[in-house]
Amino acid sequence: MIKRTWILLPLSLLAGCESSDDSIKTFITQVENQSRKDIAQLEPEQPFVATIFTANHDRSPFVLPEVAIIANQPRLKQNCWQPGQRSKTGPLEKFPLEQLNLRGVMGSKGKVSGLVQTPQGTVLKVQQGEYVGLNNGKVAEVTSQYILIKETLPDGLGCWQQRNVKLALK
Protein backbone atom coordinates (compact mmCIF):
# COMPACT_ATOMS: atom_id res chain seq x y z
CA MET A 1 0.00 0.00 0.00
CA ILE A 2 2.81 2.42 0.81
CA LYS A 3 4.50 1.58 -2.46
CA ARG A 4 1.33 2.46 -4.33
CA THR A 5 1.07 5.77 -2.54
CA TRP A 6 4.64 6.63 -3.46
CA ILE A 7 3.93 5.84 -7.09
CA LEU A 8 0.50 7.48 -7.33
CA LEU A 9 1.47 10.68 -5.56
CA PRO A 10 4.06 11.83 -8.16
CA LEU A 11 1.81 10.72 -11.02
CA SER A 12 -1.12 12.70 -9.64
CA LEU A 13 1.08 15.77 -9.22
CA LEU A 14 2.33 15.45 -12.78
CA ALA A 15 -1.19 14.93 -14.11
CA GLY A 16 -2.33 18.06 -12.26
CA CYS A 17 0.36 20.18 -13.92
CA GLU A 18 -1.03 21.15 -17.23
CA SER A 19 0.99 23.54 -19.34
CA SER A 20 -0.85 26.80 -19.79
CA ASP A 21 1.01 29.55 -21.64
CA ASP A 22 -2.00 31.83 -21.97
CA SER A 23 -0.85 34.49 -19.47
CA ILE A 24 2.66 34.60 -20.95
CA LYS A 25 1.32 34.92 -24.49
CA THR A 26 -1.02 37.76 -23.53
CA PHE A 27 1.79 39.54 -21.69
CA ILE A 28 4.08 39.29 -24.74
CA THR A 29 1.41 40.64 -27.07
CA GLN A 30 0.70 43.55 -24.68
CA VAL A 31 4.38 44.49 -24.53
CA GLU A 32 4.73 44.25 -28.32
CA ASN A 33 1.69 46.47 -28.83
CA GLN A 34 3.00 49.09 -26.40
CA SER A 35 6.46 49.17 -27.93
CA ARG A 36 5.28 49.88 -31.46
CA LYS A 37 5.20 53.57 -32.19
CA ASP A 38 4.17 55.43 -35.26
CA ILE A 39 7.17 56.93 -37.01
CA ALA A 40 6.67 60.31 -38.62
CA GLN A 41 7.64 60.49 -42.25
CA LEU A 42 10.69 62.59 -42.99
CA GLU A 43 10.50 65.45 -45.41
CA PRO A 44 11.92 64.66 -48.82
CA GLU A 45 15.57 65.55 -49.24
CA GLN A 46 16.25 68.98 -50.76
CA PRO A 47 18.63 68.95 -53.68
CA PHE A 48 21.92 70.78 -53.01
CA VAL A 49 22.62 73.70 -55.29
CA ALA A 50 26.25 74.82 -55.39
CA THR A 51 27.15 78.39 -56.22
CA ILE A 52 30.18 79.05 -58.29
CA PHE A 53 32.68 81.51 -56.79
CA THR A 54 34.05 84.06 -59.18
CA ALA A 55 36.96 86.06 -57.81
CA ASN A 56 36.33 89.01 -60.13
CA HIS A 57 32.92 89.93 -58.75
CA ASP A 58 32.82 88.78 -55.12
CA ARG A 59 35.17 89.46 -52.25
CA SER A 60 37.58 86.83 -51.00
CA PRO A 61 35.94 84.54 -48.42
CA PHE A 62 39.01 84.91 -46.20
CA VAL A 63 38.78 88.71 -45.82
CA LEU A 64 36.19 90.57 -43.75
CA PRO A 65 33.82 92.87 -45.63
CA GLU A 66 34.73 96.56 -45.49
CA VAL A 67 31.81 97.32 -43.16
CA ALA A 68 33.08 94.77 -40.62
CA ILE A 69 36.66 96.03 -40.89
CA ILE A 70 35.56 99.60 -40.16
CA ALA A 71 33.39 98.44 -37.22
CA ASN A 72 36.30 96.50 -35.69
CA GLN A 73 38.75 99.41 -35.77
CA PRO A 74 39.25 101.11 -32.40
CA ARG A 75 38.04 104.66 -32.09
CA LEU A 76 40.86 106.98 -31.15
CA LYS A 77 40.32 109.35 -28.27
CA GLN A 78 42.02 112.67 -28.56
CA ASN A 79 42.88 113.39 -24.92
CA CYS A 80 43.95 110.18 -23.27
CA TRP A 81 47.08 108.82 -21.69
CA GLN A 82 49.53 106.94 -23.91
CA PRO A 83 52.59 105.06 -22.61
CA GLY A 84 56.02 106.06 -23.82
CA GLN A 85 57.75 103.85 -26.38
CA ARG A 86 60.54 101.70 -24.96
CA SER A 87 62.33 98.52 -25.95
CA LYS A 88 61.81 95.42 -23.82
CA THR A 89 65.21 94.31 -22.64
CA GLY A 90 64.61 92.88 -19.17
CA PRO A 91 64.83 89.12 -18.66
CA LEU A 92 61.43 89.05 -16.89
CA GLU A 93 59.64 90.95 -19.70
CA LYS A 94 59.29 87.71 -21.70
CA PHE A 95 56.73 86.17 -19.32
CA PRO A 96 53.16 87.08 -18.33
CA LEU A 97 52.77 88.05 -14.67
CA GLU A 98 50.54 85.00 -14.06
CA GLN A 99 53.53 82.73 -14.71
CA LEU A 100 55.91 84.53 -12.32
CA ASN A 101 56.19 83.63 -8.61
CA LEU A 102 57.74 85.59 -5.78
CA ARG A 103 60.07 83.17 -3.98
CA GLY A 104 61.75 85.45 -1.49
CA VAL A 105 62.91 88.90 -0.47
CA MET A 106 66.39 90.05 0.49
CA GLY A 107 67.87 93.39 1.43
CA SER A 108 71.09 95.19 2.10
CA LYS A 109 71.83 98.81 3.10
CA GLY A 110 68.14 99.75 3.15
CA LYS A 111 67.46 98.42 -0.38
CA VAL A 112 64.99 95.54 -0.60
CA SER A 113 65.03 93.21 -3.62
CA GLY A 114 62.66 90.45 -4.59
CA LEU A 115 63.51 87.00 -5.91
CA VAL A 116 61.16 86.08 -8.77
CA GLN A 117 60.97 82.59 -10.28
CA THR A 118 60.30 82.18 -14.02
CA PRO A 119 58.31 79.28 -15.53
CA GLN A 120 61.63 77.57 -16.40
CA GLY A 121 62.62 77.60 -12.72
CA THR A 122 65.25 80.35 -12.91
CA VAL A 123 65.24 82.76 -9.95
CA LEU A 124 66.05 86.38 -10.80
CA LYS A 125 66.59 89.44 -8.59
CA VAL A 126 64.13 92.34 -9.04
CA GLN A 127 64.40 95.88 -7.68
CA GLN A 128 62.17 98.93 -7.69
CA GLY A 129 62.05 100.61 -11.12
CA GLU A 130 62.70 97.47 -13.19
CA TYR A 131 60.21 96.22 -15.79
CA VAL A 132 58.41 92.89 -15.40
CA GLY A 133 55.80 91.08 -17.52
CA LEU A 134 54.48 91.45 -21.04
CA ASN A 135 52.45 94.64 -20.47
CA ASN A 136 55.18 97.11 -19.45
CA GLY A 137 54.80 96.28 -15.76
CA LYS A 138 57.09 98.45 -13.67
CA VAL A 139 58.06 97.43 -10.12
CA ALA A 140 56.70 100.24 -7.93
CA GLU A 141 57.43 98.81 -4.48
CA VAL A 142 59.24 95.86 -2.93
CA THR A 143 58.25 94.91 0.62
CA SER A 144 58.94 91.92 2.81
CA GLN A 145 55.60 90.35 1.80
CA TYR A 146 54.99 91.32 -1.83
CA ILE A 147 56.13 93.15 -4.96
CA LEU A 148 53.77 95.86 -6.28
CA ILE A 149 53.80 96.14 -10.08
CA LYS A 150 52.08 98.89 -12.12
CA GLU A 151 51.02 97.23 -15.35
CA THR A 152 49.89 99.14 -18.47
CA LEU A 153 47.00 97.65 -20.46
CA PRO A 154 45.18 98.88 -23.61
CA ASP A 155 41.48 99.63 -23.15
CA GLY A 156 40.55 98.76 -26.74
CA LEU A 157 39.61 102.34 -27.64
CA GLY A 158 43.10 103.62 -28.32
CA CYS A 159 43.92 104.61 -24.74
CA TRP A 160 45.83 102.87 -21.98
CA GLN A 161 45.00 102.16 -18.35
CA GLN A 162 47.26 101.26 -15.46
CA ARG A 163 46.48 98.64 -12.85
CA ASN A 164 48.34 97.47 -9.75
CA VAL A 165 49.31 93.81 -9.49
CA LYS A 166 50.90 92.20 -6.45
CA LEU A 167 53.22 89.24 -6.55
CA ALA A 168 52.97 87.92 -2.99
CA LEU A 169 54.87 85.27 -1.09
CA LYS A 170 52.95 82.02 -0.88
- Tell me the mean pLDDT in the region 110-114: 88
Q: Is 158 left (phi over 0), alpha (psi -120 to 50) or beta?
A: left
- Look at residue 7 and tell me whether its pLDDT is greater than 90: no
CA distances from 146 to 126, 129, 152 (A): 12, 15, 19
Neighbouring C-beta atoms of residue 150, cutoff 10 Å = 14
Whole-number pLDDT of residue 111: 86
CA–CA separation, 148 vs 138, rounded Å?
Answer: 9
Whole-number pLDDT of residue 18: 60
To the nearest 10°, report the CA torsion of 64, 65, 68, 70: 110
pLDDT tens per residue across span 147-168: 999 998 887 777 788 899 998 8
Under 8 Å CB-to-CB from 49, ≥6 apart: which residues?
none
Question: Highest mean pLDDT: which of 6-15, 49-58, 67-76?
Answer: 49-58
Whole-number pLDDT of residue 115: 92
Domains, in order of start, for the chain: 97-168 (2.30.30.830)
- Residue in 127, 120, 118 with CA at minimum distance from that of residue 96: 118
The DSSP result for 72-130, as a single string, is: HSPPPPSS---PPP-----GGGGS-GGG-EEEEEEEETTEEEEEEE-TTS-EEEE-TT-
pLDDT tens per residue across span 115-153: 999 999 999 999 999 999 888 889 999 998 999 999 988
How high does pLDDT run on average in the chain? Answer: 81
Q: Which residues pair with 162 in a beta bridge?
A: 152
CA–CA separation, 166 vs 107, rounded Å?
Answer: 19
- Look at residue 41 and tell me whether its pLDDT is greater than 80: yes
